[in-house]
Amino acid sequence: MSKVLIVDDSGVARRRARGILEAAGYEVVEAQDGIAALESYVVAKPDIVLLDLVMKGMYGLDVLLKLRELDAAARVIVVSADIQSSSYALANEAGAAGFLTKPLDEAAILALVSTTLAGAVRAT
C-alpha cells in the first residue's frame, strides 16, 4: 500500500483528498502547513506528496523546493485552485510531478497519483 502525504491548510480540502485516496486503498498522512509537511516527510516517508500552493506560513513552491533538497526523488503533485499558466510553469520548473486543480476530481486525482507512483515523470 502506497503512502500519500496531503499538505493543505484547509481541513476541508484535506478531508476530501483523504476520502478519495483512502477509498482507493492508499494510506494517508496529513500536514496543515509547510513546516509540518517537511517534518512529516522525514518521519512518515511517504511515496508521494499532494501539495497545496497557497498556505499560511510557507508557500507551497518553497515547500516543494525544500522537499526536493531533502530528497531529489521526491514525487510531488501540486494541488491548487490557482489555474494560471504561470503557477503551473513554476511548479513544473520546481520539480513537481504533476498539477491538479481544485476542487479535486476523484478520477483525475486517482489517475495522476497512480501514474506518478508508476514512475512517470511530469505526469500531467
pLDDT digits (tens, 9 = 90+) for 56-102: 888 899 999 999 999 999 999 999 887 777 788 888 899 999 999 98
Distances in whole angstroms, Cα of residue 72 to Cα of each of 4, 40, 117: 17, 16, 15
What pTM value is reported for the model? 0.92
pLDDT digits (tens, 9 = 90+) for 32-53: 999 999 999 999 999 999 999 9
Domain ranges across the chain:
3-117
Beta strands in 11-101 (DSSP E): 27-31, 48-52, 76-80, 98-101
Give CA–CA dist 6/22, Å, rounded.
12
Confidence of residue 120 (pLDDT cuts 50, 70, 90): low
All three cell numbers of 27: 494510506
All three cell numbers of 106: 476523484
Would you state the CATH architecture of domain 3-117? Answer: 3-Layer(aba) Sandwich (3.40)
Exposed e or buried b per residue across 3-33, where buried means at least 16 C-beta atoms within 10 angstroms of its C-beta: ebbbbbbeeebbebbbebbeeeebebbbbbb
State the pLDDT at residue 119. Answer: 82
State the pLDDT at residue 86. Answer: 79
State the pLDDT at residue 124. Answer: 37
The single-letter DSSP state of residue 72 is T
Residue 39 makes CB contacts below 8 A (sequence gap 6+) with: 31
How many CA within 13 A on the CB side of residue 116? 28
